[in-house]
Amino acid sequence: MYLIVGLGNPEEKYFKTFHNLGFLAAGDCAQLLHAKFKKKECEASVAEGYLGGEKVIVARPLTYMNASGRAVNQLMKKYKISPEELVVLYDDYDLPKGHVRIRPSGSAGTHNGMRSVIAETGISDFARIRIGIRDEEANIPLINYVLSEVRKEDYDLFAAACRRAAEAAVALASGEKIDLVMTNYNG
């Protein structure tokens, strides 16, 4: 069983912001798995799909970004998810806009949502798929930038990045080795 978590903020006013790219990528994962977000549990909106007969849980924490780890920890405990079966999707200001980077482990970097996940679960050795949002032309404080809406002219770029991130997450959940997934989807 795999748990794929897309980080974001649950209110509609955040839907089109950079900080919700993890939520959008989770939506793409659910679509690829022919699953729908039908239930709420463990402080998350959850969709259940199957790959090769194995259940895959796709979740969007409803705890807001900075407390995402609470929901992730609860879901991991409920479904007995090991670190090797966890994939987290999120926006990352440290990467250029539209880039996707997959890693098997690491730190939270500048991301408060990931900081919460690592603190609440007590682990950092889990797959993470980062979607780059840094725009060299934007000259506003980071907190304002991540909560600003994606510009219309960049929407297709970010939609494609979210889809690629979702495809990578589903590939991991299907049993592909992370090195192969990194080769196929990083960039």
Task: Spell out the domain ranges in the chain.
Answer: 2-185
∠95-101-106 over CA atoms, to 5°? 90
CA pair distance 167, 174, nearest whole angstrom: 10
**What Å distances lie between residue 174 and 1, 54, 99, 144, CA to CA?**
10, 9, 23, 37
- Residues of the chain predicted below pLDDT 50: none
Q: Could you tell me the pTM of the whole model?
A: 0.95
Residue 111 among the catalytic residues: no
Tell the CATH superfamily of the 2-185 domain: Peptidyl-tRNA hydrolase (3.40.50.1470)
Catalytic one of 19, 34, 99, 111: 19
